[in-house]
């Protein structure tokens, strides 16, 4: 008695598209990381040029207004934003352990920006330095001190960079690398040799040039 072949089911003919779904999730996480990382760095750089603190200092019979911007208070957030932005781009240029290391650097930059921005939100040393410049007195005091919301916006930018770094640590292994396409084109498959270009066929000559070969060189 011969066995009757069973009809193929729809599931067998159409296997689950897990790799495609995983690739789609990787692209989405990459797009989100690039977007929030770039926005976070831009926000930190923008806030560094804004006024973080204001006050008044005595000078003779009157009082002079003094103010300090983010760069006067601390230059670390802006510097770390530049480093974080470079790390965000470098994530796509490296692979494996290098990508993990760069993602960790991006995460640390974001965390450090948050910390330094929060500390700068209540800083008065920069205002005292500006008061000393305005009055010419090293011990000039500052009264009626007020702080703006810009330091907190700088901290928010650091949070965005921090989240971008965490996304890179979590999903970065599945992200494409910028140089991968060219590496695959330069390295022929193992065990295969490239056929010599036929000089009588112009399209073969162009293909050989595109591969980086010399079509005029004989065997």
SS (H, E, C) 134-158: HHCCCCCCCEEEEECCHHHHHHHHH
- pTM of the full structure: 0.69
Residues 88, 104 contacting (CB under 8 angstroms): no
Residues 21, 115 contacting (CB under 8 angstroms): no
> What three-state secondary structure class fits 183?
helix
* Average pLDDT estimate for 87-105: 89
Higher pLDDT, 83 or 59: 83
The pLDDT assigned to 189 comes to 46
> What three-state secondary structure class fits 80?
helix
Q: Where does residue 3 fall: left (phi above 0), alpha (psi -120 to 50 degrees), or beta otherwise?
A: beta
**DSSP element (H, E) containing 52:** strand 51-59
What is the rounded distance in angstroms from the CA atom of residue 120 to the CA atom of residue 204? Answer: 64
What is the rounded distance in angstroms from the CA atom of residue 89 to the CA atom of residue 179? Answer: 13
Q: Which two tokens stand for residue 98?
A: 């290098």
Q: What is the pLDDT of residues 15-64, one digit of tens each?
A: 555 554 455 556 788 899 999 999 999 999 999 999 999 988 876 556 78
> What three-state secondary structure class fits 67?
strand
The pLDDT assigned to 19 comes to 54
């Amino acid at each position: 008695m011969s066995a009757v072949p069973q009809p193929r089911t729809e599931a067998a003919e159409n296997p689950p598209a897990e790799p495609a779904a995983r690739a789609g999730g990787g692209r989405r996480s990459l797009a989100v990381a690039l977007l929030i990382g770039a926005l976070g760095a831009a926000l930190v750089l923008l806030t560094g040029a804004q006024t973080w603190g204001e006050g008044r200092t005595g000078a003779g019979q009157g009082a002079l207004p003094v103010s300090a911007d983010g760069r006067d208070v601390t230059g670390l957030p802006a510097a770390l934003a530049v480093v974080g932005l470079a790390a965000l781009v470098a994530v796509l240029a490296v692979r494996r352990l290098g990508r993990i290391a760069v993602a960790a650097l991006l995460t640390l930059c974001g965390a450090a920006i948050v910390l330094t921005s929060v500390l700068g939100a209540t800083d008065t040393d920069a205002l005292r330095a500006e008061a000393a410049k305005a009055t010419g007195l090293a011990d000039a005091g500052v009264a009626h001190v007020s702080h703006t919301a810009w330091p907190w916006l700088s901290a928010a930018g650091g949070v965005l960079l921090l989240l971008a770094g965490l996304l890179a640590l979590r999903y970065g292994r599945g992200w494409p690398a910028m140089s991968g396409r060219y590496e695959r084109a330069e390295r022929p498959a193992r065990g295969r040799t490239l056929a010599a270009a036929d000089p009588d066929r112009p399209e073969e000559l162009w293909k050989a040039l595109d591969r980086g070969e010399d079509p005029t060189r004989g065997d």
